[in-house]
């Protein structure tokens, strides 16, 4: 579903991605672990075409992202939900309006249908009683749930997450991770989750990889990664939060 071959990206003289390759199958969820500044967010931005790679091929559902014309890039973006690292909701809109805006503005859904869908997905993530609240009235965990609902409401085939659990306590973090897992299996979503949170990776992903020196240096199941003799990899497992 997502195929990345030999991806290169530098900013000036700073090489960030150095031949990164990754294949994620339909319905599979892959976690990218890695220290701060290794290029995890850059990788996600290349996949959705927000950044142009210097070299390499990226395909989503067999459509090329990197050389794609505007039409296929539009089609690709229609099938991908993206939870940004900042997870920002629009502060001036209620939670429901945040979802409605996404549907009507970017996905050509009619307003009444969008309102119903928004309520449905907010209920699904456990925010049924909070649909008319403003984001500032929600806790951090609830805001993450709302951001997840906003990504889900477009019924994407693919969801990309940048640090979905950052800033949450371990219990809420596990709840969000469980919710992601549940939604992926319920809707057969293909996912890439960027995270420092090894517990989150363990819950949500089928496989994971460690981004180091511009490539996915180690990939495998979480159990396989746990056995790797590399100080950095061990660090993730030693300090699970």
Binding site for Mg ion (CB under 5 A): 41
| Minimum CB distance to ligand ATP smaller for 36 or for 223 | 36
103: contact with ligand ATP by CB under 6 A? no
Per DSSP, the residues of 159-189 read: EEEESTTTTS-HHHHHHHHHHHHHHHHHHT-
Which residue stretch of 29-37, 70-78, 110-118, 147-155 sits at the interface with ligand ATP (rule: CB under 6 A)?
29-37
Residues touching ligand ATP, count (CB under 6 A)? 11
49: contact with ligand ATP by CB under 6 A? no
| Minimum CB distance to ligand ATP smaller for 16 or for 58 | 16
CB-CB contact of 58 with 66 (8 Å): yes
Which residue stretch of 33-41, 182-190, 199-207, 222-230 sits at the interface with ligand ATP (rule: CB under 6 A)?
33-41
Contacts of residues 112-120 at CB distance under 8 Å and 24 or more positions apart, as own/partner, are 117/153, 118/149, 118/153
| Minimum CB distance to ligand ATP smaller for 34 or for 141 | 34
| Minimum CB distance to ligand ATP smaller for 11 or for 74 | 11
Contacts of residues 172-175 at CB distance under 8 Å and 24 or more positions apart, as own/partner, are 172/140, 172/141, 173/197, 173/199, 173/200, 174/199, 174/200, 174/203, 175/141
42: contact with ligand ATP by CB under 6 A? yes
Tokens of 51: 């950044």
Q: In a 3-state reduction of DSSP, which class is residue 107?
A: coil
Residues near ligand ATP (CB under 6 A) are 11, 16, 34, 36-42, 85
């Amino acid at each position: 579903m997502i195929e990345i071959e030999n991806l290169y990206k530098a900013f000036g003289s700073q090489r960030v991605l150095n031949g990164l390759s990754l294949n994620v199958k339909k319905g599979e969820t892959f976690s990218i672990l890695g220290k701060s500044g290794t290029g995890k967010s850059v990788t996600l931005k290349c996949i959705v075409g927000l950044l142009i790679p210097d070299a390499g091929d990226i395909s989503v559902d067999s459509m090329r992202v990197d050389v794609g014309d505007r039409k296929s890039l539009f089609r690709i973006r229609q099938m991908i939900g993206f939870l940004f690292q900042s997870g920002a909701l629009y502060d001036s809109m209620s939670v429901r309006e945040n979802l409605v805006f996404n549907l009507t503005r970017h996905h050509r859904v009619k307003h009444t249908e969008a309102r119903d869908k928004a309520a449905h997905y907010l209920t699904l993530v456990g925010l049924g009683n909070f649909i008319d609240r403003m984001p500032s009235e929600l806790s951090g965990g609830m805001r993450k749930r709302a951001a997840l609902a906003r990504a889900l409401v477009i019924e994407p085939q693919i969801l990309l997450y940048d640090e979905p659990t950052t800033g949450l306590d371990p219990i809420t973090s596990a709840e969000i991770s469980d919710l992601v897992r549940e939604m992926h299996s319920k809707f057969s979503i293909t996912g890439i989750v960027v995270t420092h949170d090894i517990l989150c990776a363990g819950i949500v992903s089928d496989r994971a990889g460690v981004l180091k020196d511009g490539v996915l240096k180690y990939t495998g199941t979480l159990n396989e990664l746990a056995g790797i003799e590399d100080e950095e990899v061990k660090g993730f497992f030693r300090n699970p939060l």
